[in-house]
Amino acid sequence: MDKNSITLQELQAISSRLNSIEQALLSVKTVLTFDEVAGYTGLSKSYLYKLTSTGMIPHSKPNGKQLFFEKASIDTWLLRNEVKTNETVEREAATYVVTKKNRRS
């Protein structure tokens, strides 16, 4: 094998490091493009188009064509409809029962 040739393992390592660098760069950006949001969220481009066309995901079209997304808004959108843990539900129920009893007294 030639000294200058790259093995498959080395190529995979380079690809992995490149992906890590791309993710790090995305984490510092505040405004994302359509392709970046698709990669960031893991949503397919076709589903993301559907979400934007129906107004289901926050986005901007400053020039009437290209789509932009505020990263903080996307994070908030991704974390909507939180499912509470059993522990949280039990704690809220206990607090409600105590509060209800105190109101009757």
Band (35; pLDDT cuts 50, 70, 90) = very high
Backbone angles phi, psi at 67, to 5 degrees: -95, 140
pTM, full prediction = 0.64
Q: Quick one: which H or E segment has residue 54?
A: none
CATH code for the domain defined by 30-104:
1.10.10
User: Percentage of residues in the chain with pLDDT exceeding 70?
Assistant: 94
81-104 confidence digits (pLDDT tens): 999 999 999 999 999 988 877 776
Q: How far apart are CA 19 and CA 21, in angstroms?
A: 5
Q: Where are the domains of the chain?
A: 30-104
**Which structure tokens are listed for 49?**
């188009």
Q: Cα dihedral angle (93, 99, 104, 105), rounded to 10 degrees?
A: 130
